[in-house]
Amino acid sequence: MINASALLLTFSILWLLVHILLQALLATKELGVDWNIGARDGNDQIKTIAAQRASRASRNYQETLPAFFALILASLVYPVNHEYCLLGGSIWAIARILYLPLYLYGVRFWRTIIWGISIIGLLIMVVAMWC
């Protein structure tokens, strides 16, 4: 049987790779392969909206990822309410999946709502630590 916590951890890492690869692909499309394989010492700035959004979405994901890691790993070590922890982690993961395309397409209101839902998922995980 697959451990649900391990599945969520695996997803979170794979989704991080999606963010990194998408960001790199869009930046390379704009600035070229030489920029990508070089030292990037110049002052080259990404100018296309899609590449900028991918970069910001990636940073946003990376801001909540450490908290998710800490909470899911703590749930494996300490006696916590595993149902709530997995519920919160699943909410966070689904919201993060939805967040990326909303950000890339510039959907303002719903993007913010989905981000808030991902934070609620993390808060559910925090509560699970104490139940």
Instruction: Give how many domains the chain has, as a whole number.
Output: 1
Amino acid at 35: W
**Of 15, 9, 37, which Cα lies nearest the Cα of 24?**
37
Structure tokens, 12: 């979170």
CATH number, domain of 24, equals 1.20.120.550
Between 124 and 35, where is the model more confident? 124
pTM for the structure as a whole: 0.90
Residue 14 structural domain:
4-128
Average of per-residue pLDDT across 84-101: 96
Task: Write the pLDDT tens digit of every residue in 6-65.
Answer: 999 999 999 999 999 999 999 888 888 877 777 777 766 888 999 999 999 999 999 999
**Phi, psi for residue 115 in degrees, rounded to 5:** -60, -45
